[in-house]
Each structure stands twice: as structure tokens, then as C-alpha cells.
């Protein structure tokens, strides 16, 4: 690949690193800097790459304002057998970014224009500064100041880190006046945030059967609790096809984990609205507050551009390896599901995962009919729907007309019952009316 608006090649580490990083932070799509690569994308390699990696992290952290913590990754890579460094920068939420020693001026602020770095005009600097979000959780004072962080310290210790006495400042958990901010409140041992996991009997919100709350504790602990709860719900279905038996979880487990973490990390907490997780008979819905981050449209969202809404939370989750690297979550979800699982509104983003989206073939033979369904399912479905489902499992290519004849029902009655089975997630039609087949899902 050649240099572009999102890619910069550097033969070696030079004094212009921060300048190029600032330009990408101010650019709506962020960007990537490769060090140890020539202008044509050919690897040249780096001596002492480990030391240079640490130097780059230190320079990006200390020489740019506002803080870049949580907005960059510095990774060692091997290309053509040589070690290079890949620096990934997200589009920052607190533009304009600038060189600390030059200040918020034309000599300190830069913008990516094509494959070049240009000084930012004063008018643009003033405009961006005026639009800078003032209600970020890093700027909002925590509603209580008697916060403790024993849970957070334990998680950091488990990840191989020790939090020193300055950790609240290092993790940006303080306001400019030195008080705990709202990010600190969310990560503290006790807070007022509760994440709800609701479960409904049917496909709408009429019959609520469970309503669990995970929270009033560190957001890290709440996230782990939600992940554990949904892992229990993500049971394995057996799908019977004309050729084989297929065992598959209700939801792709990798996509599920990424969706949960993304919803929590990128939720807009400034209005004290937590993300929500809702289990239905045929799907999981995950709703996070805030819609798309400012400056990011849907097309850019699906292309994987990352604009962290809560960089303080992102930093902590990255340290604890709950997220791998910037922008990794969405591609993992889209690898298993189409973009249509996402829906957007001005104030919310929702992910809808239908059950039965991932396949893992089992070598086990198809069980007997009684083992497949069982008496409990028969009681739950009722005699007619149970009989329809049983007959379809025996003959997945059976037609509605044939079903009606065998069961002594009208085709209209069979179609109605099949519609209910589809709605409840037990049945799916694959292919056309002629030449297609049914697939049955039983837990």
C-alpha cells in the first residue's frame, strides 16, 4: 500500500512523529504510522525495536495535549522477515490536539490533508475548540468523592500491573481541579450505576420473567458479571438438516463478548443512562446510550474507524485486556453477522442478534425423536405445534400441504402454527417453497 490520508510511512523514528500523530488525532478517520518502512511500503527493519516501541509510547503520552491515553496502540510487527513498528491512532474526541511545547497554535496543531501534514488554520482551531465536548466523563465531577478502588487494584494485579499512589492521575480519574471525575466514579468499588439484563418469555416486552441488575460496583466487575450471565444464556441448539446434525450456540460467542464490551465502553454515561441487555425467545438486543460518536457517520462506523467516547474507560479496559486494540470489536462482530444487526437513532445504538447465527458441526449421530424434543417441550408447545415440529424433524423437506394432510388440519391452520414456531425461534425455512427445506432448533 502507498501512503494515503490514513497511512504514513517512516524509514526511522524522527522528531516529526508527534506532528504526524497530532494530524491523525485531528483527522476524522484517525490513521496508522509505520516506522521502519520506506515510502513504497517496503520493510527496512529497525534496530532495537523494543526500545523504540517504549520511546514512541512515552513521546505520544507526554508530548501531545489533550491526553492521548486510550487513543493509540504501538505494536511490534514482522514484515518480510524484519521488525517494524505499527502505531494506530484513533480520531480523538477532544479536538484540536496539539504539540504540548507549541500550544494550541498553527505551529502546534496539524491536520491530515491527503498524504501530507498541514498546519491547522486558526479559524479551524477556534471552531474545534468551541465544539469540544464539555460533558465528557473525564470533566464531570463525581457525585461522591469518598471513592475507593480495591476491586480495580485487584484486576490490575491479576493483569500483572501494580497501581502506585499516583494511579488516579495516571489513569485520568481526576478533574482539572484534582477531584474525582465521573470515570473514577464508574470504576470505583461503589457507585450508583446498575446494568440490567432482562429476559422475556416471548418475542415482545409483555411477559418479563427475569430482571437482573449487575452494578453498584466497579464497571469492570459489572462487565464481567454481564458476560458471565449471557454466557449461561448462550446455550447450544441442535439443528437437524437433511444431511447432518449441527450443534451451534444461540449467538456467536466472540461476537457476543465484543458486543457486550463495546456497549459498555462506548456508552454515553453523561446522562446516567447505562447500557441495557434484553433476552427474547428468538433474539438478544443490546442497547447503548449516545448513538454514534460525534464526527462519525454510519459508513465510517462500518469501515472500522474508531472514535472512543470514553477514553478513560477504554484505557482501563485495554490495560485489563477486555479489549485487544483500537477498533477491533466491530470487525469481529461483522465477521459473524451482517451490518443489519445494528440500528441507529440520535440518542441510542442497538445491536440485535437473532438466535442460531453460527455453525459448529458435530460428528455425533442424529438422536432419536424422543431425545430431540422430549415431553417438557411438548407440554410447552402444545399438541399441534409439537406434532408439526416432530414431523418436520423426521422429514425436513415436507410441504405444508403434506403436513396438513397427515395431521388432518387445514393448510391455513398449519401455516399459522408454523408462523408461531418461527416466531419462537424453533423453526426456520431455508430456500424456496419448492426445493427448500426446514431447519429445526431445539435446546
CA 273 vs. chain centroid, Å, equals 18
Residue 50 in this model has a pLDDT that exceeds 90 = yes
The predicted-structure confidence for 107-153, as pLDDT tens digits, reads as follows 999 999 999 999 999 989 888 876 665 557 888 899 999 999 999 99
Q: Residue ranges of the domains in the chain? A: 7-131, 194-354, 367-442
The predicted-structure confidence for 51-106, as pLDDT tens digits, reads as follows 999 999 999 999 999 989 889 999 999 988 999 999 999 998 889 999 999 988 99
Architecture of domain 194-354: 2-Layer Sandwich (3.30)
The predicted-structure confidence for 184-236, as pLDDT tens digits, reads as follows 999 999 999 999 999 999 999 999 999 999 989 999 999 999 999 999 999 88
The dotted CATH code for 367-442 is 1.10.10.10
Q: How high is the mean pLDDT of the chain?
A: 86
The residue among 204 and 441 whose pLDDT is bigger is 204
Model confidence, pTM:
0.60
CA 23 vs. chain centroid, Å, equals 26
Q: What is the largest CA-CA distance in the chain?
A: 84
Residue 373 in this model has a pLDDT that exceeds 80 = no
What is the pLDDT at residue 362?
33
pLDDT (mean) for 167-194: 94
pLDDT (mean) for 322-326: 72
Q: In the structure, what pLDDT confidence band is assigned to residue 435 with cuts at 50, 70 and 90?
A: confident
What is the pLDDT at residue 28?
86
What is the pLDDT at residue 443?
56
Could you give the percent of the chain with pLDDT greater than 70? Answer: 88
Query: At the topology level of CATH, where does 7-131 sit?
Result: 3.30.950
Question: Rounded to whole angstroms, how far apart are CA atoms 278 and 200?
Answer: 8
Please list the alpha-helical segments (H only) found in 234-368: 253-265, 298-302, 311-319, 329-336
The answer to whether 180 and 147 have CB atoms below 8 angstroms apart is yes
Question: What Cα–Cα distance (Å) separates residue 137 from each residue in 181, 313, 314?
Answer: 7, 9, 12
Residue 381 in this model has a pLDDT that exceeds 90 = no
Residue 335 in this model has a pLDDT that exceeds 70 = yes
The answer to whether 404 and 410 have CB atoms below 8 angstroms apart is yes
Q: Copy the grid coordinates of residue 261.
A: 464490551
The predicted-structure confidence for 342-361, as pLDDT tens digits, reads as follows 999 888 999 999 987 543 33
pLDDT (mean) for 255-267: 94
SS3 42: coil
Amino acid at each position: 500500500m502507498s501512503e494515503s490520508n490514513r497511512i504514513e510511512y517512516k524509514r526511522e523514528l524522527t522528531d516529526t512523529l508527534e506532528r504526524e500523530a497530532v494530524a491523525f488525532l485531528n483527522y476524522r478517520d484517525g490513521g496508522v504510522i509505520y516506522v521502519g518502512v520506506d515510502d513504497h511500503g517496503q520493510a527496512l527493519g529497525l534496530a532495537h525495536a523494543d526500545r523504540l516501541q517504549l520511546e514512541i509510547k512515552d513521546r505520544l503520552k507526554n508530548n501531545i495535549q489533550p491526553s492521548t491515553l486510550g487513543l493509540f496502540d504501538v505494536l511490534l510487527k514482522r514484515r518480510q522477515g524484519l521488525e517494524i513498528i505499527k502505531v494506530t491512532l484513533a480520531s480523538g474526541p477532544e479536538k484540536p490536539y496539539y504539540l504540548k511545547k507549541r500550544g494550541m497554535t498553527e505551529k502546534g496543531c496539524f491536520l491530515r490533508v491527503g498524504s501530507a501534514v498541514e498546519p491547522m488554520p486558526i479559524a479551524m482551531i477556534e471552531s474545534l475548540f468551541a465544539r469540544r465536548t464539555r460533558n465528557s466523563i473525564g470533566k464531570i465531577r463525581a457525585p461522591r468523592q469518598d471513592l475507593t478502588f480495591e476491586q480495580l487494584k485487584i484486576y490490575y494485579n491479576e493483569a500483572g500491573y501494580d497501581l502506585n499512589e499516583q494511579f488516579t492521575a495516571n489513569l485520568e480519574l481526576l478533574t482539572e481541579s484534582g477531584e474525582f471525575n465521573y470515570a473514577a466514579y464508574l470504576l470505583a468499588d461503589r457507585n450508583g450505576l446498575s446494568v440490567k439484563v432482562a429476559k422475556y418469555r416471548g418475542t415482545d416486552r409483555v411477559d418479563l420473567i427475569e430482571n437482573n441488575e449487575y452494578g453498584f460496583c466497579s464497571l469492570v466487575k459489572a462487565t464481567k458479571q454481564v458476560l458471565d450471565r449471557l454466557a449461561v444464556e448462550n446455550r447450544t441448539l441442535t439443528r437437524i438438516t437433511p444431511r447432518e446434525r449441527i450443534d451451534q450456540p444461540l449467538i456467536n460467542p466472540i461476537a457476543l463478548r465484543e458486543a457486550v464490551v463495546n456497549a459498555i465502553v462506548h456508552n454515553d454515561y453523561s446522562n446516567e443512562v447505562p447500557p441495557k441487555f434484553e433476552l427474547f425467545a428468538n433474539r438478544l438486543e443490546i442497547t447503548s446510550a449516545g448513538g454514534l460518536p460525534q464526527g462519525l457517520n454510519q459508513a465510517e462506523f462500518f469501515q472500522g474507524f474508531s472514535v472512543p467516547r470514553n477514553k478513560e474507560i477504554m484505557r482501563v479496559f485495554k490495560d485489563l485486556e477486555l479489549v485487544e486494540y483500537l477498533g477491533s470489536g466491530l470487525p469481529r462482530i461483522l465477521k459473524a453477522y451482517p451490518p443489519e444487526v445494528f440500528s441507529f437513532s440520535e440518542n441510542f445504538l442497538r445491536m440485535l442478534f437473532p438466535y442460531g447465527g453460527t455453525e459448529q458441526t458435530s460428528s455425533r449421530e442424529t438422536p432419536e425423536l424422543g431425545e430431540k424434543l422430549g415431553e417438557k417441550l411438548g407440554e410447552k408447545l402444545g399438541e399441534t405445534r409439537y406434532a408439526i415440529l416432530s414431523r418436520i424433524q423426521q422429514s425436513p423437506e415436507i410441504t405444508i400441504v403434506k403436513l396438513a394432510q397427515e395431521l388432518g388440519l387445514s393448510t391455513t391452520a398449519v401455516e399459522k402454527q408454523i408462523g408461531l414456531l418461527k416466531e419462537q425461534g424453533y423453526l426456520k425455512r431455508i430456500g424456496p417453497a419448492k426445493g427448500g427445506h426446514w431447519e429445526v432448533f431445539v435446546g
